[in-house]
Structures are given as C-alpha cells and as structure tokens.
Amino acid sequence: MALIEIRGLSKSFGEVKAVAGVDLDINAGEFITLLGPSGSGKTTVLRMIAGFEDPDAGTIKLNGEDITHLPPYDRDVNTVFQDYALFPHMDVITNIEYGLRVKKVNKEERRKKALEALEQVRLSGYEKRKPSQLSGGQRQRVALARALVNRPSVLLLDEPLGALDLKLRQQMQIELKELQREVGITFIFVTHDQEEALTMSDRIAVFDKGKIQQLDRPAAIYEKPVNEFVAGFVGVSNLITGNAAQTLLGKSGTFTVRPEKIQIDKAQGAAGTVKEVEYLGPSTRFIVDLDAGARLVVLRQNTDESAVDVMSMRGKKVNLSWAKESEYRVN
Amino acid sequence: MKLSRTARAALLGTMIFGFTFIYLPLALVVINSFNTNKSFAWPPTGFTTIWWSKAAANDGIRDAVMRSVITALIATSIALILGSLAAAAISRYEFFGRDAISLLFVLPIALPGIVTGIALNNVFTNFFGKLTFFTIVIGHATFCIVVVFNNVAARYRRLGMNLQEASMDLGASRFTTFRLVTFPLIRSALVAGGLLAFGLSFDEIIVTTFTAGAGQTTLPIWIFQNLFRPNQAPIVNVVAAALILISILPIYLSQRLTADK
C-alpha cells in the first residue's frame, strides 16, 4: 500500500481550474518531484496535501487514513516553505523547537532533539541567532531542521531552493538528497527547474494545466517523453513534425530527438544550415535549420578536436544524423 | 552622496531655524511656569514654584485631568478591540465589499472634527436624550479606532499569511498560533496605535465640545475656559508645561516600538 494515495483531486480558484483531477500514489521513503511551469497546479497539490487549501473534489489518504479535509495541525506532514517562513521574533533554536513545543514535548527533550536537528543541517553554534542574522542558505537549513525535527511521515518542500544562487543551489541539492536518504522520510518536492528534478528525484510527476502529464523515473521522463509538453519542458524539445517528419523520417506525426543524440559532422544525413553556435565550455550547442523545415538543437561534447574553431561553423552547411532508436514519437 | 560645504551649511541653518520655531515656544512655556510675573513679561522677573503648587491644589484641574485620562483609556480600549478585529478581518479574509468597508473605516479621520462633533451631537441629543460622560467616550472612539486599525492593518499586510500557515503546519491550533506567532508580531503595532489613540483623545477639544454633558469638563476644555482669565493664566501655563514633560514618554516609547529591529 502506498503511503500517500491521491484520487481525483481537483481545485478551482474562481474561474481558474488549478488542479483538474490528479491521481498519484507515493511510496514510503520516496523522493518524488512535482515538476511543472508556474500555474501548472503543482504547488496547489502540495498545499492540499499540507492542508492549506481545501480540495473541491477528490481524496487524499495518508497511511490509509483519509486526511482530505483535516486542518494542517492534524496531519503528520511538515512543510518547508519557499520563503522559509521562519518566525522572525524567535531565535534559531526556538524556531526549531516550535513543533515539539506545541505538541507539549518536555523542555529537555525538545532542546536535545532540536540541537540534533541543527547538527544534522550543519548549523551547530547558531542556536541563538535570529533569522534576520542568517544568510539565505542558512535560513533554508533552519527551515529544514524545523520541519525534520518533528519526524513527519512526509516532508513537503515548496521550491525550497528557488531563492538561492546557483552554486549554493547545487550544493543544497546534494545535501537534500543525502539528508533524505539518511532520515528515510518521504520527500515531496515542488520545482519548476527540470535539472533539479532530474538530479534529485526517484520519480518525477510532470504537471501541466492542472494534470499530471507523465509520472516516471527521471531517465524515463527525459528519454521517453509521452507528449510534446513533456518533451519540451524537460530538456530541449527538438520537434520534427508535419512535412519535415514525412520527408526526413518517412512517417507522419510529431517526433523528438534529444540534442546530444544528434551527430553534426557526418557526410550523410538531413541537410541544413548552422544558424547559431554557442560555446558552453565542456560542450558546444548548435542551432541548425534543416532544409526540410525543422529547427534542431545539437549538443556536441568538446572532446577531441580543437574546440577553438567551432565558432567558425556559423552559416556552414551541415548534415545531421541520429540513430533510429533516438527518435521518439510524442504525438 | 557627498554634499558641498555650502549646501551642508544651508541645510544645517534651515534645520536649526525649523527646530527653533517648534521648540522655543515650548521652552518658553516651561520657563514661564516658574516666572514670578503673572503676565509672562520677558525677561522673567524671578523664579517661583508657587504656580505649580497652586495648580496641584486646584480641584478643577485634578477633576479635568482624571476625566481626560479615563476618557482616553476607555476610548483607546474600545479602539484596540474593534480596530484590531477589523484589521484582522480586512487583511486576512476575502469577502464582498471588503475595500468599501476598509475605506469606511478610515474615512472618519479625514472628516473635520467639527462635522463629527455636530453629527454626534445631533444623534445624542435626539436619540439618547442628553449628553453625558459616555457620549464623550463614544465621540473619541470614532477617531481612535481609525489609528489602531491603520497601524494593525499595515502590520498584517506586511506579515502575510505564511507564518500562520507555518505555525499550523507544525501542529499549532489557531489559538496557539495567535498566542505564539501572530500576537507577538502585531503587539508593537497595537502599542503604537494605542499610544497614538490615547494622545489624540487626551487633547481632543472640538468633538468633545459637542459631545460633553453638563459639567463634564475634560482637560483641554478646562484649559480653553481658563486661558483668558488673568488670574488663572499662570496655572494654565503650569498645566501646559506638565503636559509637555509627560508627552515625551509615550512618544519615545512608540518610536522605539515601531522601529524595525
């Protein structure tokens, strides 16, 4: 039995249907990511699991118990908020103790657990600081500790890394994943960043228009997108459709090929012109307009030949080729 | 930004000029309360504390001070309760006519006191039969509510809903959330609003004139009645001097409390 069972979940705000019938099973100990653009309904689903929004229809079960309409304080889940929502009038340790304090855990025990949680997020020694005296990354860790100290069945994370700069974000991605393995708590992670989703998750649910478009392991989501939206949102879409599909592939429909699966320097293949060259360091990105009428992005590792010359390829005629099994039908 | 020497000198001069106009008259009031000359002739003819002891012994003053203090306390209490409840409702819930109600709450402070005074006077004399002490209190509460409402509503807007959600998420009921999170965070806005309301009520004279029952003399009214009686002028001066000294404390407190930490 899944830890969380969501069935037919729907929610509208006025005229806008934010969530339009979501079914989702989440297993214990899983790191699942709800991925989608803003307005896709992912945050609303999270807020309904937390109890901040009341669904119009559908049910949410946690450990077999129906929690659909329970208030937030009666649910065995905790949330890490996007802006951290630390209590500004309490110091770090009081913030972390808050959940235990309202559950009437005695003073000694809750102090001990809070200190442990603080150590777990590597902030020992910061107990007496006020949230305003911490950096963004430190606040993030305090917010994590404040939620984890309660040992919830499920931890909900609402774009928790969104406010951090790139370096810190990448570091926190690794730490979060390690922490999740360590504590063994189910993480439901909301993000609009596909790379973050691919890096961290056991499974990804891709959201669009209030519905789950695809639910699968990261590699499957990336390699085998089920529709145009998923292909485009996770990675570069590289769609070949209509006449181009007929001419190039001899099939009708819409197909996608990932940029790194395409060879650019072969003598044979689909003819086209290099429109743009972007040097990225470890790799180079080419944007190629095919004569058959499709624009493809090609990614090539800068492995052997001197990559210094790649810029001169702009405007050149090239042939693109790829293995048959790399083209994937999305429509 | 660096200012040139001339600009700095000019600004300093303007500042001194401005402060002189504000504080010199106040200083004069304090000095004159110790002046032996009854008509405040300058320079003072001698030092005396006789006006202060006379003022302290004056029943009319004591009576008026007590009435003003009690009026301000009750009006402020009403304002704190109704004003903060209204602020909570308007900042935290969406409902039909919310913006209109918000405007209606703030409007009374924009109305000239004399209009409020006449309007209340009409209602009180026509429907309540007569003016009493409590009609003063109600009159004062009309504008005290506004300042509390404004202060608390601004604080609620700044706080947002996130902290309350975080608290409930961590297992706290609505009441516990209010006690541990919401109230501590709006407390300074309540104190600042309350002090301001108290101050407004304490020296209010226009609305009071129209709503005070017979013999219900508040301090400002007492001062107004006695200012032009030659024998009372030095005592009025003492009252003014005492009020200046007493006012400094609440202003200082409210400044400290509303300052961002």
User: Looking at domain B58-226, which CATH architecture does it have?
Assistant: Orthogonal Bundle (1.10)
**pLDDT higher than threshold 90 for residue A171:** no
**pLDDT higher than threshold 50 for residue B116:** yes
Report CA Rg, chain A: 24
Q: Which residues of B touch A (CB under 8 A)?
A: 162-163, 165-173, 176, 180-181, 184-185, 261
Mind giving me the DSSP string for B23-75? Answer: HHHHHHHHHHTTBS-TT--SS---B--HHHHHHHH-HHHHHHHHHHHHHHHHH
**pLDDT higher than threshold 70 for residue A108:** yes
pLDDT of residue A270: 84
Mean pLDDT of chain B: 87
CB A73 to CB B180 under 8 A?
no
Q: What is the Cα–Cα distance from B130 to A9, expressed in whole angstroms?
A: 62
Mean pLDDT of chain A: 90
Contacts with A73 from chain B: Cβ below 8 Å: 168-173
Joined together, the tokens standing for residue A65 give 């118990």
Tell me which of A96, A102, A148 to substitute to probe the interface with B (most B C-beta atoms closer than 10 Å): A102
Residue in B244, B226, B247 with CA at minimum distance from that of residue B26: B244
Q: Of A79, A85, A102, which has the smallest distance from its Cβ to B163's Cβ?
A: A85
Grade residue B261 by pLDDT with cuts at 50, 70 and 90.
very low
Joined together, the tokens standing for residue B260 give 């961002």
Residues A240 and A222 placed together within one structural domain of the fold? no
Residues A90 and A36 placed together within one structural domain of the fold? yes
CB A99 to CB B171 under 8 A?
yes
pLDDT of residue B100: 87
Q: What is the Cα–Cα distance from A264 to A252, expressed in whole angstroms?
A: 24
CB B185 to CB A89 under 8 A?
yes
Helix (H) or strand (E) run with residue B127 in it: none
Q: What is the Cα–Cα distance from B153 to B161, expressed in whole angstroms?
A: 13
What is the model's pTM? Answer: 0.79
Overall domain count for chain A: 2
Q: Of B162, B171, B184, which has the smallest distance from its Cβ to A85's Cβ?
A: B162
Contacts with B173 from chain A: Cβ below 8 Å: 73, 102
**DSSP 8-state class, residue B222:** H
Q: Across the strands, what pairs with A4?
A: A26, A62
Grade residue A307 by pLDDT with cuts at 50, 70 and 90.
low
CATH code for the domain in which residue A98 is found: 3.40.50.300
Residues A104 and A224 placed together within one structural domain of the fold? yes
Average pLDDT on A107-127 reads 92
Region class of A159: left (phi > 0), else alpha (psi between -120 and 50), else beta? left
Contacts with A86 from chain B: Cβ below 8 Å: 166
Of A165, A198, A232, which residue sits at a domain end? A232
Residues 6 or more apart whose Cβ sits within 8 Å of residue B87: B148, B149, B152, B153, B155, B156
Q: Is A6 exposed, middle or buried (0-12, 13-18, 19+ CB in 10 A)?
A: buried
**pLDDT tens sequence across A182-235:** 888 999 999 999 989 998 999 999 999 999 999 999 999 988 888 889 988 887
Residue in A175, A216, A166 with CA at minimum distance from that of residue A35: A216
Percent of chain B past pLDDT 70, that is, above it, reads 98
Report the range out of A154-163, A249-258, B100-109 with the highest average pLDDT. Answer: A154-163
Percent of chain B past pLDDT 90, that is, above it, reads 35
Residues A226 and A241 placed together within one structural domain of the fold? no
Tell me which of A44, A73, A150 to substitute to probe the interface with B (most B C-beta atoms closer than 10 Å): A73
Least confident of A211-215, A300-304, A314-318, B149-153: A300-304
Q: What count of other Cβ atoms lies within 10 Å of the Cβ of residue B34?
A: 18
Closest-CA distance, A290 to chain B, in angstroms, reads 50
Residues A228 and A262 placed together within one structural domain of the fold? no
**pLDDT tens sequence across B34-69:** 888 777 777 878 888 888 888 888 888 889 989 999
Average pLDDT on A71-85 reads 93
Residues A138 and A274 placed together within one structural domain of the fold? no
pLDDT of residue B258: 65
Joined together, the tokens standing for residue A312 give 């001169």
Domain residues of chain B, as ranges?
A: 58-226
Least confident of A21-35, A53-67, A162-176, A192-206: A162-176
Residues A40 and A182 placed together within one structural domain of the fold? yes
Of A232, A263, A286, which residue sits at a domain end? A232
Average pLDDT on B71-93 reads 92
Contacts with B259 from chain A: Cβ below 8 Å: none
Residues A211 and A266 placed together within one structural domain of the fold? no
Of A206, A232, A258, which residue sits at a domain end? A232
Residues A133 and A172 placed together within one structural domain of the fold? yes
Q: Which residue has the higher pLDDT, A115 or B242?
A: A115
Residues A216 and A318 placed together within one structural domain of the fold? no
Q: What is the Cα–Cα distance from B68 to A301, expressed in whole angstroms?
A: 83
Quote the domain boundaries for residue A103.
4-232
Residues 6 or more apart whose Cβ sits within 8 Å of residue A142: A84, A86, A92, A95, A96, A118, A121, A123, A126, A131, A134
**pLDDT higher than threshold 60 for residue B260:** no
Percentages of chain B per state (helix, strand, coil), in multiples of 5: 80, 0, 20
Average pLDDT on B94-113 reads 83
**pLDDT higher than threshold 70 for residue A306:** no
Q: Complex ipTM, two decimals?
A: 0.83
Grade residue B14 by pLDDT with cuts at 50, 70 and 90.
very high
Residues A20 and A141 placed together within one structural domain of the fold? yes
Average pLDDT on A138-154 reads 93
pLDDT of residue A175: 87
CB A87 to CB B166 under 8 A?
yes
Residues A70 and A202 placed together within one structural domain of the fold? yes
Q: Of A50, A86, A87, which has the smallest distance from its Cβ to B169's Cβ?
A: A50
Tell me which of B169, B178, B179, B257 to substitute to probe the interface with A (most A C-beta atoms closer than 10 Å): B169
Average pLDDT on B235-244 reads 86
Residues 6 or more apart whose Cβ sits within 8 Å of residue B41: B35
- A-chain residue closest to B179, CA distance: A102
**pLDDT tens sequence across B176-205:** 999 999 999 999 899 889 988 998 898 888
